Amino acid sequence: MLNNDHPNLKDLDGRVAAFLADSGGAFSGAYLVAINGALMLQGARGLANREFEVPNGRSTRFRIGSITKQFTAAVVLLLAEQRMVTLDDPVGRFLPETNNVWRDVTLRMLLCHRSGIPSYTSLESFPKEISKIDRTPREIIGLVRELPLDFAPGSRALYSNSGYTVLGCVIEQACAQAYAEVLRSLLFEPLGMADTGCDDGLSVIPALASGYVYDDGEWLRAPHIAMSLPFAAGGLYSTVDDLAVWHRALHDGPLLRDDSRSVMFTDHGDGMGLGTMVNKGEPRIRFHGGGVNGFLAAASRVFAENWTADVIVLANNGNADPKLKADPFYISKGLLALASGNSVDAPGIMPLG
């Protein structure tokens, strides 16, 4: 239970600083915790650009990796509300060039990672070869189109970035617009998310952090990735403030109808919702993480007995080594515990990561 008179809240800034210092300087990013919609703590640590010693701040933009999938899923649900698509449409309705192996794959299966389509990021040549070359979304699909499915569509779940690339192409086909333009007109502009957008790797994006890796006490530039590849699976950038706006709109606001929101946050197997993960234990949590070269991110909505919390942590250190105590989900657990008047090692506060 949240207690604003809890003695641990009297020196909250100091406790947060001490907790973050425990990473030994490896946490570099920005964070925000809101409880029942009220901002409890917000701050930043480390450098957005180490070459020019530019500090991270609340307006720093970070690549958010697979948190992008929430936005892709929300657009598909909005299109379904407008009867432009149905969740049980087969992929071939929008991408007729797909092969017969995919004929039973539906949008719903893609959304909850039950399509069986192999993830292009799992291909052996991805890290050193595929990831370096810009491709169109259709060319990305071409990397896996002729491969056998990992399993029969709908029979089980396996996380697939390819599935969300396909969904991005479906959105473009249904709307006759580029994916970036659809998100801007349906989501970012109506919600006032001026600091969120698609990163194509070419455009100059003001206040965008550079990506690094912290290795054995040394900061290194993150390996290059062609930013056309993440696309609808992981190509967005944002700020902690904008993602807090997104959380309010997605979980509480009028962005989606109640029936759409219910489908999105239902566990369709293995903890997979549509563009989100769900933990039905105590406390209940809806969450997603993200990772793209040099960046890690975590965004969680936590449901306790009589309060809810939004916890956003964005980092421009791509090293998730748990010994560093800098992983965004680890940071999220500690910050939420502190913001709710508990010690950072309080059991059961946020069982993630």
Residue 104 lies in a domain: yes
Cα-Cα-Cα-Cα dihedral sign, residues 213, 205, 300, 278 = negative
Position 274 scores a pLDDT of 98
Condensed to tens digits (0 to 9), the pLDDT of residues 268-278 reads: 999 999 999 99
Cα distances from 21 to residues 45, 47, 286, 313, in angstroms, run 10, 14, 28, 15
Phi and psi at 88, nearest 5°, equal -100, 10
Measured CA to CA in angstroms, residue 284 lies from 209, 252, 266, 353 at distances of: 32, 16, 12, 14
Q: Is residue 347 part of a domain?
A: no
CB atoms within 10 A of CB 83: 7
User: pLDDT tens across 68-97, in order?
Assistant: 999 999 999 999 999 999 999 999 999 987
- Residue 345 covered by a domain: no
pTM (two decimals): 0.95
Residue 2 in any domain: the answer is no
Residue 353 lies inside a defined structural domain of this protein: no
Sheet holding 308-315, edge to edge: 38-45, 29-35, 308-315, 295-303, 284-292, 277-279
Residue span of the structural domain in which 173 resides? 7-339
- Asked, for residue 348, whether it belongs to a domain, the answer is no
**350 within domain boundaries:** no
Spatial separation of the C-alpha atoms in residues 239 and 32, rounded to whole Å: 10
**Domain count of the chain?**
1
Which CATH number fits the domain that encloses residue 95? 3.40.710.10
Let me know if residue 52 belongs to a domain.
yes
Going by pLDDT thresholds of 50, 70 and 90, the confidence category of residue 350 is very low
Alpha carbon 241 to its chain's center:
14
